[in-house]
Structure 1
Amino acid sequence: MTAGTALHHRIDGPDDAPVLVLGPSLGTDLHLFDAQVAAFADRYRIVRFDLPGHGGTPAADGPYTMAGLAERVVALLDLLDVDRVHYAGVSIGGAIGQQLALDHPDRVLSLTAMASAARFADPDSWPQRAATVREGGTEVMVASRPGTWFVPSFAGTDEAERLLAMLRATAAEGYAGCCEAISTFDVRDRLGSLHVPVLAIAGAEDPATPPEMVRVIADGAPDGRFETVADCAHLLNAERPEQVNALLAAHLASVGADRS
């Protein structure tokens, strides 16, 4: 992956506070985390970023890999003169966090992986999805996303429509490249090297990364904890922000001041 320009990002919170990096899901942008910013920006310096081809980050030349995406995050931290961070991410954002913690353990204080996996389901299907999006654009994915992203009671809400608008605005090549990164990602045999506190959170009704898949991350990490949030699917931090924020706050507090 050609690095190109820095990942588009936004910073909120006090300059001297511990840094919390938030990594978004495929087909969304940094505003996926608006509810987390509202809850944590009083005591954390929050750095949100857009994936390549998502939000304000231009699509990069391929091929995309999770290791390459993690290096883009490291480059952003270097640009911001940030040394060590707490990291939380959703789906591919959580996979980037795992890769970051494994490849650069000196940069990560804690990891929270939400609706993520150490190996995503149906790896052979992702290149086909990439080809479909390259041919028809991200609009071809919109009709099928509510059943994966949301529980029925949340689909059709203004917030759900806001999230789907992020998908419509995503560049086809950026989306497709991230699909290809997902298809080759597999760190199951490296989870034992995650030497930071790890929280893995699943949406109880998530068909994309069901609880048993998310739990693999926590079970494989030496200091891992697993939690499930009821009545939500894949974009759990947007569907059930209060519950997710409470779990994240407790996890960050448990890490202790010595790691901040």
Structure 2
Amino acid sequence: MHLFDTGEVRLHYRVDGPESGPTLVFANSLGTDLRLWNPVLSHLPEGLRIVRYDKRGHGLSSCPGGDYHMGALITDAERLLDHLEVRDCVFVGLSVGGMIAQGLAVKRLDQVRALVLSNTAAKIGNRAMWAERIAAVQAGGIESLADAVMERWFSPGFRATPELELWRNMLVRQPATGYAGVCGAISHSDFYTTTASLRLPALGIAGADDGSTPPDLVRETIELIPASRFELIRKAGHLPCVEQPEEYARILTEFLRNVGHI
């Protein structure tokens, strides 16, 4: 585990695997930290250099006050990858991580050779919805909406298991300021035009029971990129890497092989 000072924030990150292998970068969702990807890692091929990080306001990264902007979230990722001398990675972004992925690919094609857009979209929700969520967090903390978030994140079967408490705890222990800040960044973001300009290998992954970014929304976004692929994971909600890690890793590994990354 390490901290990198971008000049604006200190980002907590972790690198697993060899120093010089093909690089796979993971960016996680609103309300989670880099442990989101733990269930998947053991199912991936050996030899990958795996980079994970906590976006600003989440996990062990610093939590600045004030409004957050998607451009700053993208720049955070860009600066971290420059610090780690990452080029030609496959970038896997889930939810807001997928929005960061879209923006970074447009800005830095030298860093990103292929995209995995998981449970995300070019535009998620609307400003009124996000303003309501920010107000709820400011009034009652993340705890006030945690149960509703669990319903969007997970399938009914998973919500009946003891493991649900682990992910609920992860959510409510994120800084409220950081959670609200990222909500604001999402609310003002629309990547339809820029994502449609991308020409690189791309894979879309959706969960059949996703209450945040339903499969049709994910499909609509990935189809903006010519020659992209779409995969649906059943018995999974917004975080299929948690509910179906073996299937998630299988789909991801197949994509890595198809694009010649491994």
Shorter-chain TM band: over 0.9
Q: How does 1:173-252 map to 2 (within 5 A)?
A: 173-252=177-256
Runs of 4+ that moved beyond 6 A: none
8 A contact 2:45–2:253 mirrored in 1: no
Q: Which residue of 2 aligns with 1:45?
A: 49
Distance 2:45 2:71 in 1: 28
1:89 deviation in Å?
Answer: 1.5
1:82 deviation in Å?
Answer: 2.0
Distance 2:124 2:92 in 1: 18
Distance 1:256 1:41 in 2: 13
* The one of 166, 173, 176 aligned to 1:172: 176
Write the letter of the residue equivalent to 2:151: G
The runs of 5 or more residues in structure 1 that have no matched partner are none
Q: Does 1:163 align with 2:174?
A: no
SS of the aligned residue for 2:59 comes to coil
Distance 1:250 1:98 in 2: 21
Kindly tell me: are residues 117 and 3 of structure 1, through their superposed partners in 2, closer, same or farther at Cα, counting changes over 3 Å?
A: farther
Q: Which residue of 2 aligns with 1:119?
A: 123
SS of the aligned residue for 2:123 comes to coil
8 A contact 1:206–1:233 mirrored in 2: yes
Q: Does 1:15 align with 2:15?
A: no
SS of the aligned residue for 2:236 comes to coil
SS of the aligned residue for 1:28 comes to coil
Identity %: 39
8 A contact 1:24–1:32 mirrored in 2: yes
8 A contact 1:14–1:41 mirrored in 2: no
Distance 1:58 1:223 in 2: 38
Q: Does 1:58 align with 2:62?
A: yes
Distance 1:54 1:162 in 2: 16
SS of the aligned residue for 2:231 comes to strand
Write the letter of the residue equivalent to 1:147: E
Distance 1:159 1:88 in 2: 24
Q: What is the alpha-carbon root mean square deviation over aligned residues? A: 1.6
8 A contact 2:124–2:187 mirrored in 1: yes
Write the letter of the residue equivalent to 1:133: V
Structure 1 range deviating more: 205-214 or 187-196: 187-196
